[in-house]
Structure 1
Amino acid sequence: MASQPKAHVAIIGAGLSGLRCADLLLQNGFQVSILEGRDRVGGRVHQTKLSNDHWVDMGPNWIHGATGNIIRDLALETGTGIDDLDDKSCAFDETGVRLEAAESTKYETIMWETIKEAFTYSATSEAKVDPQKSLMDFFQEKVPLRIPDDEPNAEAQRKTVYQMCETWGAFIGSPITKQSLKFFWLEECIDNENLFCAGTYHKVLERVAKPVVDKADISFNTIMESITYKINGKDKITVHPRSGNSREFDEVVVTTPLGWLKKNKTKAFDPPLPHSLSTAIDAISYGCLEKVYISFPEAFWRAKNGQPEIVKGFIQWMSPTYHPELNANRWSQEAVELSSLSADDAHPTLLFYTYGAQSQWFTSELAKRPDKKDKAAFIISYFEPYYSRLPNYTADAAACQPVDCIATDWLNDELAGNGSYANYQVGLEKGDEHIRTMREGLPDQGLWFAGEHTAPYVALGTTTGAYLSGEAVAERIVEKYARFQ
C-alpha cells in the first residue's frame, strides 16, 4: 500500500522559530508554506548599517549560555564574532562621579551574588514565595546582611547597590521592581554565561534561513488576520490573511510574538481559544527593551598615552540627578561600548539600552519627530549628559561629536507585538504551568505555537529558545504523522 502524501503545514512568521520549524518539516517531506508579515525573514532578528559601515543588531545582541547552545555553535560555524564582556564594567554614581574600580567591583559582586542567591531561592522555594514579591524586595532583605550596620556609611553603600541592581531591567525589558521573585528561576539561562554577538546575528540568521528560503513557499507582506481551526470533525484548518485569499492546511504553527498574541487572540482564533490557553497568554508578561546606537569618529573614552583603561564593556549611570530637564524620573542608564569588541567587529559606538517607562516615553518622543535630523538631535540631547562623563570627553572636540544615531522602535511595531520578549512579573501565580500550556498548543485541532515564549525553561526569552521551540513543534508534528504511515 502506497504511503499517504505528507501534510501541508502553514507557519505564521519567518523568525528563528518559524524557520527552524520549517527546515525540520521540509527535511521530513512535509509541504511547508510560510506567511510572513514583513518583507524579510528574521522577525525580531534584524540588522541595520551605521554610517561607519558596521552592521548592528536591532533585535537580540546576546547569546545566553555557551555550553551546549546551538546558537553559539552556529555563530562559531559561520565565523560570527562573539565576546565575553561579563567581567568588564564601569559605573557612575547619581551625581555623575565615576566609582573607583575597587568600589565598583565590591558593589557588583554583592549584586551578582544576591542575584545568584535569588535564583536558588526561587528555584527551591517557589511554592512558598508570595506572587507579589519582587526581585527588588529580595535585594532589600539580603543586602543589609552583606553590608551590615557596623560598616562605614552602610546606608549609603546599600543605596548604591539598590541603584546598581536596576540594571536587571536591561536584561528583561522591565524594571527590577516588576520582576517576579517566585518565577525568577525562569530567567536563569543555560549556564549563566552571556556572550555578546559582536558580529551580529546576520550570518546565523542566513544559515538558519537558507534551506527554508530555497525550498519552502514563503509569502512576504502577508499578515495573518485569523485562523479557523479544526472542530467538530473538520479535517482542515483555515488561515485568513488580512489581504484575503484564505487557504486551508492540515496543521498551522503560530510563531507570532507573545505580545501579538496578547493583543489579537480574541479576534485571531475561531472558535475562541480554550480558557486555559487564553489565560496563559494573558498571564505571561511582555517586556519593552529598546536600543539606541550612538557612533563617534573615534572611541574617545579609550585609554590614550599610557593611561589606564577605565571604560571597557558595560557602563552604568545610576539614578542620575543631573539631567532633570529630560530625565526627571532619574531613570538609570545602561550601555555597552563596542570599541573593545574583538578585531574587525570593534567600532566607536555606544549601545544604550532602555526599558519600562523610559522606553515608552522615549519612543513616544521620537515618534513626535518624523524628521531624521530632529530625531538625532533629540537622541543626542537625551544621552549627552551621560556619555559626556566618560574619560577624555571635550564638548567641542571633533572626536566627541556623534556621527550617527539609530534607535529601535519595537514598542510601535505591530508585528513585534509592540514590545520585545516575554518576562515574568509580580502577580504571576502559575508561570511554568502557563508556559507549558502555550507550548502544548492544540495539536488535536491542528494548532501549534512556537517562539521564545514557549521555549525550554532554560532558554525562555532568547534566540536559542526560539530556535529550540520551532524544532520541538516540528518534531511533534513529524511524530504525529508517523503514526499514520
Structure 2
Amino acid sequence: MMDQKETRNSTKKLHIGVIGAGVSGLRAADILLRHGFQVTILEARNRLGGRVHQERLPNGHFIDIGANWIHGANDSPIMDLARETKTEVSSWDTVSYVFNEDGDFLSLDESTDYFTTAWTIIGDAFEYSSKHTSGIAPEKSLLDFFRDNIKKAIPDTERDYEKKRHMVLQLSAIWGAIIGSPVNKQSLKFFWLEESIEGENLFCASTYRKILEKIAQPAVDGADIRYATQVSQIHGKSSSTAAEKTVKVKTTDGQVFDFDEIVLTTPLGWLQKNLQSFQPPLPERLSKGIQSIGYGCLEKVYISFPAAFWLTPDANSRTIEGFCQWLSPTYALDTNPARWSNEAVELGSLTPSTAHPTLLFYIHGPESQHVTSTLRSLPTQDAKNDFVFAFFEPYYARLPSFDPESCRPTGFFATDWLGDDLAGNGSYSNFQVGLEEGDEDIRTMREGAPEQGIWMAGEHTAPFDALGTVAGAYRSGELVAKRVADVYGMVEEVRE
C-alpha cells in the first residue's frame, strides 16, 4: 500500500482506467471525475450496466435479467436513487405459498407456519455464525445447522412433528435462490457475511432501467467510454517508488492503454478464470482470496401468459399473490428426476402501471446448469419453447384457475450467465463450505494491489453488510475511487 500521498502532476492530468462499466465501475468513474481525474472506461460489452441490464419479453414488457431487488431498503443508496428516479417498487415479504412434494396446495396458514420456522432457523444461524465463526469447522454448512436445530424448533411434543420437520428441511432450499448455490454448500462459518443491509427487500417493478441511467450519466457525460473493448492482459507497476510508471492494459483487438492507475471492476468469476492475465502476478494473498470466494449460478426464467390466471379465485377461493414454492416434486420425474425444488414470484400483482401476466422462476445449482445448457443446445426457438414450457408446466399448472387451453404460455426469456464468459460464467459471489478465511479474503480483494496500480471494486469487495448486492457494488466503486483520490491528494471539485 502506498503510505505517502503523491502530489498532483501539474503538467499532466492523471489518467485512471476503469475496467468494466457495471454499477461499481460507473460509480467509481463518477467519483474520479469529481476529483479531477481523466477517466477512460474499457467495457467489453456494447452497453453499460454489466449484470444490471434489461430485455423485453415477447409480450413487450421490460424485465431485469440481472438484479431484480433492492436488498435492505434502510440506508440504501439504491433506494435513494429509486425514489429520486420514481422507480416503482413492490413487496411480497409477508406472503409465500407452498406446494408439497405430492403437488398438494397447502393452506396459507400452514405454509406461513413452515416459512416462519425456516426463517427463524436462518436468523438463528446468522447469530450463531457471527458469535462463533472462529470455532465453526469450515466444512459445516447451513443445511447442517438446519438439521442440528430442527428438533429444537419443532419438538417431539408438537402435533405431526415429523411431517413439519420434513417440510422445513425441504424449505431450507429457498436459501439457494438467494446466493445462487445449493444450501448444502453455504458455509456456516461465514454465513454472517451473507447478512445484508437492514430493511425491507423491494422488487424493482419498473426495472432498474432509470436507476442505471442515473448512475451512468456522469460517466456518459465526462468519461471516455470504449465499448466492445475486452481486456486480455494487465501489466501492473513493478515498483511503488517509481511514480512515473504506468499500468499497461492490452485488449483482445491489439490496443494498448497506459494509465496512472486502474480500477478493476470485472466480476469475481472473470477474475478467477483470468488470473494468468496479470503481469507481474497479483500478490499471492490476493490471488488466494480471489480463488477462495464462491461464485454462484443464479438464473432467471420469465414465462408469460395471456392473463395472470393465478389472481382469479378458483373453486376453493384460492389465489396466488407473491412467491410460490414447489418442494421436492415427485410428480415431474420425467423432466426433474433429481426433484429440484422450484421458486417463482408472480408479476401480475405489481403496481398497476408495471404489472404483467408473467411468472419469474429463480433457478440455481444443477437445475440452472441443466436448463441453460439444454437451451444452448437446441437449434430453434420452437424447440426452446417446447423445452421450457414442458419443464415448468408441472409447477405453473398447479396454480389456481389454470386451464390448459386458455392458459398456454405466450413466450419466455431465460438468462444464461453460466454461458457468459464476460460475466465469469456465473453470477453473485457467495461463501461456500471449506472456506477458511472468508472475511480476510474479502478485505484482501477490497484492498487490491495499489502497489501495482491495481485497485478493485465490485459486489465481491463491498462492505460486509452489502456483499452480493447492487448497493454493495455501488458503494464499493465509490469507496475505491475516494481511496485513489486520497493517494494523490486530490480534492472533490465543486459542481455548479
TM-score of the superposition, structure 2-length normalised?
Answer: 0.95
Matched ranges for 1:97-246 at <5 A = 97-232=104-239, 233=242, 235-246=245-256
**Partner letter of residue 437 of structure 1?**
T
Give, as a single letter, the amino acid of the residue that structure 2 aligns with 1:224: V
Give me the whole-angstrom Cα distance separating, in 1, the residues matched to 2:171 and 2:319.
18
How many angstroms apart in 2 are the aligned matches of 1:442 and 1:298?
A: 53
| CA–CA separation in structure 2 for the residues paired with 1:126 and 1:434 | 15
Secondary structure, counterpart of 1:482 in structure 2 = coil
How much identity, in percent, do the aligned residues show?
54
Deviation at 1:36?
0.3
**Distance verdict in 2 for CA 1:4–1:306, change over 3 Å:** farther
| CA-CA distance at 1:304 after TM superposition | 3.9
CA distance in 2, matches of 1:6, 1:85: 50
CA distance in 1, matches of 2:380, 2:14: 49
1:51 Cα offset (Å): 2.5
Aligned ranges 1:8-47 → 2 under 5 Å: 8-47=15-54
Q: Considering only aligned residues, what root-mean-square deviation do their CA atoms show, in Å? A: 1.6
Deviation at 1:211, TM superposition (A): 1.4
Name the structure 1 match of 2:376.
Answer: 367
What is the rounded CA distance, in whole Å, between the counterparts of 1:199 and 1:306 in structure 2?
33
1:443 to 447, 450, 467: 450
Deviations 1:77-105 (A, max 9, x none): 11111112111211000011011111111
Paired amino acid for 2:411: D
Moved over 2 A (4+): 1-6, 150-153, 303-310
What are the Cα deviations for residues 63-86 of structure 1, in whole angstroms up to 9, with x where unaligned?
A: 111111000110111111111211
Match of 1:95 among 102, 125, 141: 102
1:180–1:428 Cα contact (<8 Å) kept? yes
- 2:75 maps to 68
Q: Residue 193 of structure 1: CA displacement?
A: 2.6
Aligned partners of 2:340 and 2:367 also within 8 Å? yes
For residues 184-236 of structure 1, what are the alpha-carbon distances to aligned partners after superposition, in whole Å with 9 as ceiling and x for unaligned?
11111100531111110000000111111121101100100010000143611
| Matched residue SS, 1:240 | strand
Gaps of 5+ in 1: none
Name the CA shift for 1:459/1:484 in 2 (closer, same or farther; >3 Å): closer
CA contact (8 A) 2:264 2:454 kept: yes
Distance across 1 between alignment mates of 2:352 and 2:75:
25
Stretches of structure 2 that go unaligned for 5 or more consecutive residues are 1-7
C-alpha separation in 2, matches of 1:393 and 1:354: 22
Answer whether contact 2:20 2:41 (CA < 8 A) is retained: yes
Secondary structure at the counterpart of residue 174 of structure 1:
coil
- Secondary structure of the residue aligned to 2:210 is helix
User: Using the alignment, how far apart are the partners of 1:352 and 1:38 within structure 2?
Assistant: 26
The 3 A distance-change label for structure 1 pair 223 and 88 is: same
Match for residue 336 of structure 2? Answer: 327
Counterpart contact for 2:236–2:247, Cα < 8 Å: yes
- Match in the other structure for 2:365: 356
CA distance in 1, matches of 2:408, 2:335: 20
CA distance in 2, matches of 1:301, 1:339: 8
- Number of the residue aligned with 2:387: 378
Q: Which residue of 1 aligns with 2:290?
A: 281
Using the TM superposition, give the Cα deviation of residue 307 of structure 1 relative to its aligned residue in structure 2, in angstroms. 7.0
Deviation at residue 151 of structure 1 after TM alignment? 2.2
1:305 Cα shift?
8.5
Shift of 1:147: 1.1
Q: 1:264 aligns with which of 271, 274, 285?
A: 274
Change (3 A) 1:103 1:260: same
**Aligned twin of 2:3:** none
Q: 3-state DSSP class of the match of 1:390?
A: coil
1:432-474 deviation digits (Å, cap 9, x = unpaired):
0000000001112210111000000000000000000000110
Residues 231-278 of structure 1: per-residue CA shift (max 9 Å, x gap): 143611100011112111100111000000001112x10011111001
- Relative to structure 1, is the Cα distance of residues 34 and 2 closer, same or farther in structure 2, using a 3 angstrom cutoff? closer
Shift of 1:166: 0.5
- Tell me: CA distance 1:108–1:305, structure 2 relative to 1, closer, same or farther (3 Å): closer
Q: Is the 8 A contact 2:318 2:400 kept in 1?
A: no
Contact 2:282/2:449, CA 8 A, preserved across alignment: no
**Partner AA of 2:246 in structure 1:** K
- What is the alpha-carbon distance in structure 2 between the residues aligned to residue 76 and residue 320 of structure 1? 40
Question: Which secondary structure does the structure 2 equivalent of 1:227 belong to?
Answer: strand
The secondary structure found in structure 2 opposite 1:87 is: coil
Indicate conservation of the 8 Å contact 1:110/1:143, yes or no: no
1:286-365, aligned counterparts within 5 Å?
286-304=295-313, 308=317, 310-365=319-374
1:253 maps onto 2:260 in alignment: no
| Deviation digits for residues 326-349 of structure 1 (CA, Å, limit 9, x no counterpart) | 100000000000011112111110
Identify the match of residue 409 of structure 2 among 390, 402, 407.
402
- Pairwise CA distance, 1:5: 3.9
Q: Indicate how the Cα distance of structure 1 residues 315 and 405 shifts in structure 2: closer, same or farther if over 3 A, else same.
A: same
Is this contact kept in 2: 1:90–1:310, CA < 8 A? no
Distance 1:8 1:215 in 2: 13
Deviation at 1:417, TM superposition (A): 0.5
**How big is each residue's C-alpha offset from its partner over 1:362-419, in whole Å with a ceiling of 9 and x where there is no partner?**
11111111312211111000000100000011112x2x11111110000000110000
Q: Give distance in 2, aligned partners of 1:141 and 1:419.
A: 31
Measured at CA, do residues 345 and 483 of structure 1 come closer, stay the same or move farther in structure 2, by a change above 3 Å?
closer
C-alpha separation in 1, matches of 2:12 and 2:30: 18
**Do the aligned partners of 2:293 and 2:435 also contact (CA within 8 Å) in 1?**
yes
TM-superposed CA distance for 1:2, in Å, is 8.7
Question: What secondary structure is seen at the aligned counterpart in 2 of 1:10?
Answer: strand
Indicate the SS of the match to 1:340: coil
SS of aligned partner of 2:97:
strand
Report the CA distance between 1:152 and its aligned residue: 2.6
SS of aligned partner of 1:402 = coil
Q: Residues 2 and 306 (structure 1 numbering): CA distance in 2 closer, same or farther, change over 3 Å?
A: same
* CA distance, structure 2, for counterparts of residue 189 and residue 148 of structure 1: 30
Deviation at 1:483, TM superposition (A): 7.1
